[in-house]
Amino acid sequence: MLNLAKNCVVFTYPKMGKSGKFLPDELKDLDGLTGCTMQCKAYQENLNLIQNLGYKLIAIGSQSKEDMNEFITSLGLGFEVISDVDFKFEKELELKTFSTDDGKKFYHRQTLIFKDGKLVKRFDFVANPQDDVKNVMEILKNLS
């Protein structure tokens, strides 16, 4: 069970690395499968604003803790990043996934906003990772 704050933003990201070359044909041109670094940097740049509005920020990926820690350190991320290699949150949060031709499973890029413990907005298949935080900030400001 994911221990969500009463007010929080949760986003998932694929971070495929080498498995990207094994994408099935129907996913090769899907927007949003690349851009994890840009998305995380944008969230880090806006972290204080998100927190000042009373929200906690959580990222979920399917990488191992070791790979994830390397990613977190390299970007200097100051928000919680959860390794979900067993996809425990897939059903709990109704998260969308996909598999590559080499048999690896990943989360699609998606964002969920919770206010007072209730899901108030869901962005499935975030196509423009660099704009995700901009869209989230507009909603958070309107919820305040």
Would you list the domain boundaries of the chain? 8-143
Q: Are strands 110-115 and 8-13 parallel, antiparallel or unpaired?
A: antiparallel
As a CATH number, domain 8-143 is 3.40.30.10
pTM of the model: 0.87
Q: Is 25 helix (H, G, I), strand (E, B) or coil?
A: helix
What integer pLDDT is reported at residue 121 of this predicted model? Answer: 96
HSE at residue 135, side-chain half, CA atoms within 13 A, is 17
pLDDT at 28: 63
Residues 96 and 18: their CA atoms lie apart, in Å, by 21
> What pLDDT score does 116 carry?
93
Rounded (10°) angle between helices 129-143 and 36-45: 30
Would you write out the chain's pLDDT as a tens digit for each of its 144 residues?
566 779 999 999 887 565 456 566 666 666 655 678 889 999 999 999 999 999 999 999 988 888 888 889 988 999 999 999 999 999 999 999 988 888 888 899 999 999 999 999 999 988 888 899 999 999 999 997
pLDDT at residue number 144: 75
